[in-house]
Amino acid sequence: MKRILVAVLGMHALFAGPVLATDLVGTRMMSLELATEIAQGAIDACREMGYQVSVVVVDRAAQPQVVMRDVYSTRFTVQLATEKANSVILGGVSSAELRRNRGSIVPELNEVDGILVLAGALPIRAAGQLVGAVGVSGAPGGDKDEICAAKGIEKVAERLEFAD
């Protein structure tokens, strides 16, 4: 029995091949609590400026992790905030910077399902690695949306900077 087990294990190793360190990839992921704090921070910042907005925090794969819609913010702002955040995941930079850098193809990018290249979304990085994005919609002009998004990230910035 022992010989059979050794033979089976030996054959498995022969056919399976070596597992290289590059075959497994470690990733950073946001906790629900961190994503919620970012979203609430953005909502609070917009409220202080007198605006009712929606905030969506997506993970590194552009999947919504937190969705918040303030009382008077329309349902359409949820979609806009989501699609702005998705554009950050696509480009790796703020939605405003993507718009500036890819201005000639913005109409084509806006044809991609789930992407909207408008100002108002920022990347969320932990120790330099992209872990998600926060999109805001509902304040007039994308610059105010982006200010609120930045305030949300600033709320947790120290924790993101030193993430292990």
> With pLDDT > 70 as the criterion, what percentage of the chain qualifies?
85
Q: How far apart (Å, rounded) are the C-alpha atoms in residues 88 and 136?
A: 12
The 121-126 sheet, strands edge to edge: 64-69, 54-59, 129-137, 121-126
* Residue 111: predicted pLDDT: 87
Q: Is the residue at 5 inside a domain?
A: no
CB atoms within 10 A of CB 52: 16
Mean pLDDT of the chain: 87
* Residue 7: predicted pLDDT: 44
Number of structural domains found in the chain: 1
What's the pLDDT band for 15 if we cut at 50, 70, 90? very low
Burial class from Cβ neighbours inside 10 Å (0-12, 13-18, 19+) for residue 164 reads exposed
User: Tens digit of pLDDT for each residue in 97-149?
Assistant: 998 988 788 888 888 899 999 999 999 999 889 999 999 999 998 799 999 99
Q: Is the pLDDT of residue 1 over 70?
A: no
Q: Is the residue at 19 inside a domain?
A: no
- Residue 110 structure tokens: 């806006």
38-60 mean pLDDT? 98
* Residue 63: predicted pLDDT: 97
Q: Is the pLDDT of residue 22 over 90?
A: no
Q: Is the residue at 98 inside a domain?
A: yes
63-90 mean pLDDT? 97
Q: Is the residue at 153 inside a domain?
A: yes
**CATH at 72:** 3.30.450.150
* Residue 120: predicted pLDDT: 97
Q: What is the pTM of this model?
A: 0.83
73-102 mean pLDDT? 95
Of 114, 162, 121, residue with least CA distance to 38: 121
Burial class from Cβ neighbours inside 10 Å (0-12, 13-18, 19+) for residue 64 reads middle
- Residue 98 structure tokens: 């993507």
The contacts found for 59-64 with CB under 8 angstroms, 24 or more apart, are: 59/29, 59/30, 59/35, 59/131, 59/132, 60/27, 60/28, 60/29, 60/89, 60/130, 60/131, 60/132, 61/89, 62/86, 62/89, 62/90, 62/114, 62/133
Q: Is the residue at 18 inside a domain?
A: no
Domain that holds residue 40: 26-161
Q: Is the residue at 102 inside a domain?
A: yes
